[in-house]
Chain A
Amino acid sequence: MLKLAQSLRFRQLFLSNRLSALGLIIVLLSVALSVLFGILGKGITPYDPYSLNLQQSNLPPSTSHYFGTDFQGRDLFSRVIAALPIDLGLPIAIVLLSCVLGIFLGMAAGYMGGLVDEVVMRVTDLFLAFPTIIMVLAVAATLGAGLVNATLSFVFVWWPPYVRLVRGGVLEVAAEDFISISKALNSSFYYIIMKGILPNIIPSVLTYATLDVGTCLLEVSILGFLGVGIPPGTPELGVMVGSISYGLYTYPWQALFPAFVTMILVVGFSFLGEGLREASDVKVRPYILFRGRKAKAPKVEPMHQGMM
């Protein structure tokens, strides 16, 4: 969808920020690993992440077991890799579904206004009033265990901010002259929405969604930690942290490694999201002010360095 020139500049700007480049690397790497695991399964992990091996239980990190083993003898490193598809897949799916729902409702509210706007916003307010985790627990309890149900329970409380975001964006864009002109040209409703409004709100939604994946990931792992929604025994970072048997100080690596990996993933998405935000802001300005980047042209010694 992005034309080459646009994406070249986009990458140039947003990779210039080292943190967001790091974020991008983390995200891409983990997604790649997840996909590989999804296809090749146990083939890519040093050990079988599922099979129990009680003689090998509670081993500290070593050259044969990078992260050590858990209380059931499973190699933690392999389990962490096995957890990636779930710990990435669930939040991404939740955010994606919330996005879609948010775009649909937000667009309706923002563009059509009137009664539709009123109804959608009141319903959104209602849902926003629910405490997130409690609602997820309640819905998960109702739907029963399983990853799909867990995803749905999350989406139930996750969509409202997207409606607000999209509605705000739609209101802003719809007020622009070029939308009025599209109407004056007698463009179809479909055209105005799909080519006029949607492409102009996608950047801000994408940015928010990227940051949101990190938040969602944390919430998913919290639930895993509490032992709700996600079936116990599933390789999932929160579950792994929660299933340490003898306390944190006895076999600390069993909690620390999964927690650390969770942190890296969340941070990766945060950096990426931040980078996206800066890059999309910058598209508007002709001269970009950036911080701490060495200019490409030969540096001339400025005469009054301490001016500001």
Chain B
Amino acid sequence: MNNIVEADNLTVTFRARGGGSFLFERGSNMINAVDDVSLRVREGETFGLAGETGSGKSTIARVLVGLYRPRSGSVKLQGKEIDFRKKADVTYLRRNVGIVFQDPVGSLNPRLKVREILNEALVAQKAFGRNEFENRIETIIDHVGLRKSSIEAYPRELSGGEKQRVSLARALVVPKKLLVLDEPTSSLDVSIQAQVLNTLRKLKSDLALSCLFITHDINVIKYMSNSLGILYYGKLVEMGPTFKVVTNPRHPYTMKLMANVPRLKRVEAQQELLTEQGPSPTGCIYSKVCPQVFEKCVNAPPLFSLGSDRFAACYLYEGNAQMSDG
């Protein structure tokens, strides 16, 4: 099976918020929002990326649509390496990767009708002739489950769920190789979320989509993804088939995370909460709070292979091969 996306050793750095004017900005104060992350999205599959707020998931999403430039590492889209300094490469990336953000309201220009919003995508991506626009719009509107009348509506006339569907339509009106979804249902009510997730699943099979699904909600991600990657302060700590990662987590952080997933029928919130301590500045990023920390953890661990596509960045599994080996 082919990989739609191959990201290797991706590092994205930001200047910490310091304010000040252009002329007087202080030089260093960089944070690694994403630190040496490697992942693969297979064709036709959904790769889930989970983690707490600030773990770097959204940053990866934006790199994949060419909104952020990585400081180092490589991104390949269907085998083609993307050079983020070359306009043509970034255009290629944007032409083939679509994105949906979390906020239904902020994602749509309030001054434009749905038709114009979709037109923008069609015009900018130059994939269809003008005479085909109408047809494409109607097709995609149908696919995402919106009524035809929505085409002439303004965003404020639509409900939250409908707005997200418009964002979906905009991402897919020009067919894409990869759809990146950044917390697409986190701002929606539970029953609307269910409807949108159902639509996403249907779209995935109808259009043979490959997706990168980002969320903090493990219940959602285990329902929607084939493979799962866990991020902690910019580092990928575990990766593997969703079922295995959720039911049998290997990395100490993943274990803590899974124990914290809320279940409906539990009345006492008795789980051990995640800490707020922050990342460890040296060595393994989780070592500051890890219950199983030992001497080796003073060095940052690579991703060790645990067999059958499972990986964990933890010295507990040192005997195994590393991801970089294969």
User: Which residues on the A side are within 8 Å of B112 (C-beta)?
Assistant: 195, 199
B120 touches A185 (CB 8 A): yes
List of B residues within 8 angstroms of A199 by Cβ: 109, 111-112
Interface string of A187-223 (1 = CB under 8 A from B): 1100100011001100000000000000000000000
Are A191's CB and B22's CB within 8 A? no
Number of interface residues of B (CB under 8 A): 32
B95 touching A195, Cβ below 8 Å: no
On whether A118 and B111 interact (CB within 8 A), knowing A6-B154, A181-B101, the answer reads no
Mark A161-205 against chain B: 1 for CB-CB distance below 8 A, else 0: 000000000000000111011111111100100011001100000
A115 to chain B, nearest CB (A): 6
Partner of B124, one of A118, A185, A283, A284: A185
A117 sits at the interface (CB 8 A): yes
A186 and B107 contacting across the interface, CB-CB below 8 Å = no
Dominant secondary structure at the A interface: helix
Task: For the complex, give the distance between the alpha carbons of A200 and B154 in Å.
Answer: 14
| Given A184-B66, A184-B67, A184-B99; A196-B109 close (CB under 8 Å) | yes
Q: Are B22 and A182 in touch, CB under 8 angstroms?
A: no
* Interface of chain B residues 55 through 110 with chain A (CB within 8 A): 62, 65-67, 91, 94-95, 97, 99, 101, 103, 106-110
In the complex, how many residue pairs between chain A and chain B have their CB atoms under 8 Å apart?
A: 72
Is the C-beta of B125 less than 8 angstroms from some C-beta in chain A? Answer: yes
A3 to B91 alpha-carbon distance, docked (Å): 33
Residue of A nearest to B91 (CB): A186
Task: Give the Cβ gap from B95 to chain A, nearest Cβ, in Å.
Answer: 7
A interface residues, tally (CB under 8 Å)? 27
Determine the distance from Cα of A3 to Cα of B66 in the docked complex, in whole angstroms.
34
A43 within 8 A of B: no
Task: Tell me whether A195 and B94 are in contact in the complex, defined as CB-CB below 8 angstroms, given that A6-B154, A180-B67, A181-B170 are known contacts.
Answer: no
Q: Which residues of B contact A (CB under 8 A)?
A: 21-23, 62, 65-67, 91, 94-95, 97, 99, 101, 103, 106-113, 116, 120-121, 123-125, 154, 156, 167, 170
Given A177-B103, A191-B120, 12 further pairs, Cβ under 8 A: A118-B21, A176-B106, A178-B107, A180-B62, A184-B66, A185-B94, A185-B170, A188-B124, A191-B123, A191-B124, A196-B109, A200-B110
29 contacts between A and B (CB under 8 A): A6-B154, A113-B22, A118-B21, A118-B22, A177-B103, A177-B107, A178-B109, A180-B101, A181-B101, A181-B170, A182-B120, A182-B124, A183-B66, A183-B67, A184-B65, A184-B94, A185-B94, A185-B124, A186-B91, A187-B123, A188-B124, A191-B120, A195-B112, A199-B109, A199-B111, A200-B109, A200-B110, A283-B156, A284-B156
Residues of A bordering B, CB below 8 Å: 3, 6, 113-115, 117-118, 176-178, 180-188, 191, 195-196, 199-200, 283-284, 286
